[in-house]
Structure 1
C-alpha cells in the first residue's frame, strides 16, 4: 500500500443513528439494523456489517459496563484480522468527514467508539 499516513481525528466522527443527520459519509457499524429507523431516515452511504462485533461478542457484552474493557480488547482482536476494516480505513483517508453510526444508548462505550479509535491508530502505510 502507498504511504498515506494516518487518519486525522477530524476525519472520523461517531454519532447515534437516532440523531438528526448532519452531513458526512454516513456508515452504520452495527451488525443489526437499529429498531425504529427506516432506511430513508437513516440516510446511509454504507452499512459496514463486516466491521461490526461478532454476534458472539455482541451478545456477551450486552452493553454491561463492567464488561467494557473486555469487550474493547476482544473487539480490537476481531478488527485486527478483518480485511473489510483495512479497506474501509483506506477509503476514509480520501474523505473529509466519515460518520460512524451506532444505535446503542451509551454514547461513550459502544463499538463505534472502539472502531474510530482503532482507525485513528492505524498507520496506513
Structure 2
C-alpha cells in the first residue's frame, strides 16, 4: 500500500506547478482575468461551493468568517454532492496530489480552507 498523496489548496492565480497534481477549481464563478490555459484545470466543481446567498452575505469580510464557516459547514452537511466529492478525492489521492483552487484574495479567509478541513475530517471518520 503506497502512501496517500497530499490534498492542498492554492489560489488559482498562483503559477501552475507539477506538484499540484490534479487541479480542481471549487469556485462557483470563473475567477476574473485568468485564461483557461493559465488555470490548468482538470475539473471545475460548482456543486461543493457555498450557496450564492451565503457567498454574497460573507463577501470575504474577515469579521464574518466564523459565522460563514459555521453556515458553510451546515451546507456541506446537507449537500448530497459532498459525499461523492470526498470519495472522488480519495480515489485521486491514491494516484497523485490534489489541489483545490480558489479565487479569493485571502489565504486565511476563504471557503477552500473550510472545504479542505471538512474533507480531511470526513475521510478520517470513514476509515
Displacement after TM superposition at 1:11 (Å):
2.4
Contact 1:90/1:124 (<8 A) preserved? no
Displacement after TM superposition at 1:118 (Å):
0.3
TM-score normalised by the chain length of structure 1:
0.88
> Which one has the bigger helix percentage?
2
Which residue matches 1:78?
75
Which residue matches 2:112?
112
Structure 2: tracts of 5 or more residues without a match: none
CA distance in 1, matches of 2:29, 2:74: 20
Of residues 26-35 and 86-95 in structure 1, the stretch that sits farther from structure 2 once superposed is 86-95
Displacement after TM superposition at 1:37 (Å):
0.7
Which residue matches 2:53?
56
CA distance in 2, matches of 1:57, 1:37: 24
Aligned length: 118
Structure 1: tracts of 5 or more residues without a match: 1-7
Which residue matches 1:20?
15
TM-score normalised by the chain length of structure 2:
0.87
CA distance in 1, matches of 2:39, 2:69: 26
The Cα offsets for residues 72-100 of structure 1, whole Å up to 9 and x where unpaired, read as 00000111111221111101112231100
RMSD: 1.6
Displacement after TM superposition at 1:29 (Å):
0.6
